[in-house]
Amino acid sequence: MEQLILLILIPPLFSAALNGIFGRRFSNATVSLIGCGAAGLAALFALLAAWTYSHLASEPLPFIQSYFTWIEAGPFRADFALYYDRLTLVMTVTVTLVAFLIHLYSRGYMEHEGGYYRFFCYLNLFLFMMLLLVTAANFPLMFVGWEGVGLCSYLLIGFYFRKKSASDAGKKAFVVTRIGDAGFTVAVALLYWSFGSADFGYIFDRIGAMPPGSMQGALTAAGLLLFLGAVGKSAQLPLYVWLPDAMEGPTPVSALIHAATMVTAGVYLVARSSILFAHAPMALAVVATVGVLTAFYAATIALTQNDLKRMLAYSTISQLGYMFVGCGVGAFAAGIFHLMTHAFFKSLLFLAAGSVMHAMSGELDMRKMGGLRSKLGTTWLTFFIATLAISGVPLLSGFFSKDEILAGASEGPLGHPLIFWLAVFTAAMTAFYMFRGLLLTFHGPSRVEPHVASHIHESGSKMTRPLIVLAFFSVVAGYLSWPKAWGGAERFDEYLDPVFGRSTALLAAENLRPAEHSLSHLEIMGVSVAAALLGIGVALWFYLKSTEIPRQLAARFEGIYQLLVRKYYVDEAYDWLFVNPIKRLSDKVLWRSTDAAAIDGLMVDGSAEAALSLGGVLRRIQSGNLRSYATWVLLGAVLWLGYALFHG
């Protein structure tokens, strides 16, 4: 088992090194063989590890293995240790499967792009870092993976580095997530200070053994700070601004990193630390609140976006909010379940969008699309399936996971009717804007420009086959947790119970819900399906039947429309509040005053100046004039005599 877990991590790392160092000389075929091969091996080993772990005698206890001592500084010790339990199983299998499919897709998508080897190198490096993140057994090692995925995200967003908007977007992503990382670091320091260790096993056992209500200050602070890290990495309010810009990267990057894996790292962090949050319900309440507000907020922006990938980006932010709602109300398994289903259908959506982009010679503005269904059959079908899934249409995966989250919001330990209804409204909006996207892109009259229209072609099998596989998963992944209300056993939740059971039970026992009657599970399902159908219905009405209505609405409610299209002017606000003042500070104070004047002028030039003038003064002693020499001698003698008399 110890070797198996390591074997999941090693192929991507090795392949990244190989492609990175020698890739320039390899042919595209070799590069993709190494790259996809590594991803495939990782997936294979992940499945093997899953099978092996499930048959261990110690199952379902976590399997922790330390491989070597990494940091040892006085009493502080952090090993390179990996932690494998059921949650890790779910994460590794999902991540490697989706990553493998996206690697395959990239073979087709990036075929004609420059820097082919660089792309696969970064993609594999990212995979390694992400796997390290989810298998780490202590916070510092997890942070290595955390920062590593941030690095790869920067490298991949700015892949087309010659394009200024792309490199700017990369920088923006890195800087904004850094703010969250600061929170993460302080949280780890706080936990170390409180518990004397940074190991998951040790800390979580200690917390679990404490009576509820103890160490509230430290635990709540740690929880909030960890969540701050998650807010940055998973693009929640207010640190979400980097994700829409990240669409500058190649589409497979958007699919892998910004839909299925990296952005879910924050959710994983919260889920992994569930016992900590269970003992700090205030922090958990903040998680749920931020999650639902973000979900709602991002959905409102997605309603009006015209760029296909941007719309999907805001959709991702919104769905991540849902996952945090799941965790935040105490239904951690529901949050992870949604993470898994979302990975499938969101990456599918992005890859299909890439296929559309490919066909449309790079065009992404939905106003210039339309009627593509006839020419892009497979792409349409897979996109349609994914849209059904994300809208929460029954019998597809999204329905089951979204339903569990809504159930948690209504009945869960920290559930609240406000959260529930906001989430329901958001679900309606989600269905609406997703179908809007579908209809604008694939249906209706063609608004495609003629010179683009002549090149429209369905993508090759390298791209469409992964789409089909992902579509399959988007349908069936939900059956892992057939709801109890329909006679099922909710296997997924049950499966993750060893991981989350203690936390959920603790939260339930604390009896924090407002004492209101909650809806039954069937009623909740009914509400969510109704919301989905409402959203779909309005979208069909607006974009299929009476297509003038959106334009009329936009004209009537010009103010609100502009507010939404311009993303609530948040980027402009941040520019005014933070970016420009810092730029001015850097220019006027740090550059002009400190660097140029103080350091260059005062210290460097100044010391040279001082040396020169001192020399100039002292030079006068060497005048060549004998009498002045005699004078100096006399003066020296007098001074020495005086010293000898008075101090000697």
Partner 1 sequence: MVPLYHILAVSVILFGLGAAGFIVRRNIITIFMCIELMLNAVNLAFIGFSRYLGNPNGQVIVFFVIVVAAAEAAVGLAIIIAVERNRATLTIDEIDSMKM
- Footprint of partner 1 (CB under 8 A): 624-627, 630-631, 634
Beta carbon of residue 588, minimum distance to partner 1 (angstroms, whole number): 55
Q: Which is nearer to partner 1, 541 or 632 (CB)?
A: 632
The residues near 588 (Cβ < 8 Å, ≥ 6 apart) are none
Q: Which is nearer to partner 1, 602 or 633 (CB)?
A: 633
Angle made by CA atoms 545, 384, 325, in degrees to the nearest 5? 100
Give CA–CA dist 529/537, Å, rounded: 12
Beta carbon of residue 627, minimum distance to partner 1 (angstroms, whole number): 6
Q: Which is nearer to partner 1, 591 or 632 (CB)?
A: 632
- Residue 111 CB-density burial (10 A; 0-12 exposed, 13-18 middle, 19+ buried): middle
Beta carbon of residue 618, minimum distance to partner 1 (angstroms, whole number): 19
Beta carbon of residue 596, minimum distance to partner 1 (angstroms, whole number): 46
Cα–Cα distances (Å) from 421 to 285, 296, 424, 518, in that order, read: 16, 11, 5, 12
Q: Which is nearer to partner 1, 162 or 627 (CB)?
A: 627
Is residue 139 within 8 A of residue 189, CB to CB? The reply is no
Beta carbon of residue 628, minimum distance to partner 1 (angstroms, whole number): 9
Q: Which is nearer to partner 1, 21 or 635 (CB)?
A: 635
Give CA–CA dist 201/267, Å, rounded: 19
Give CA–CA dist 12/126, Å, rounded: 8
Beta carbon of residue 611, minimum distance to partner 1 (angstroms, whole number): 28
Beta carbon of residue 629, minimum distance to partner 1 (angstroms, whole number): 10
CA nearest to 354, candidates 339, 376, 374? 376
Beta carbon of residue 620, minimum distance to partner 1 (angstroms, whole number): 15
Q: Which is nearer to partner 1, 515 or 626 (CB)?
A: 626
Helices (H), 329-460: 332-359, 377-391, 397-411, 417-442, 450-453
Beta carbon of residue 626, minimum distance to partner 1 (angstroms, whole number): 5
Is residue 404 within 8 A of residue 494, CB to CB? The reply is no
CA nearest to 394, candidates 314, 334, 482? 482
Is residue 168 within 8 A of residue 135, CB to CB? The reply is no
Beta carbon of residue 630, minimum distance to partner 1 (angstroms, whole number): 6
Q: Which is nearer to partner 1, 590 or 638 (CB)?
A: 638
| Tokens describing residue 605 | 């030039």
Give CA–CA dist 485/400, Å, rounded: 11
Is residue 104 within 8 A of residue 469, CB to CB? The reply is no
Beta carbon of residue 634, minimum distance to partner 1 (angstroms, whole number): 6
If residue 81 lies in a helix (H) or strand (E), which one and from where to where? strand 76-84
DSSP 8-state class, residue 136: B
The residues near 185 (Cβ < 8 Å, ≥ 6 apart) are 143
Q: Which is nearer to partner 1, 627 or 647 (CB)?
A: 627
Give CA–CA dist 161/118, Å, rounded: 12
Query: Taking the alpha carbons of 212, 216, 222, 226 in that order, is the dihedral positive or negative?
Result: positive
Local structure of 237: helix, strand or coil: coil
Cα–Cα distances (Å) from 7 to 12, 81, 82, 421, 496, in that order, read: 10, 14, 12, 45, 24
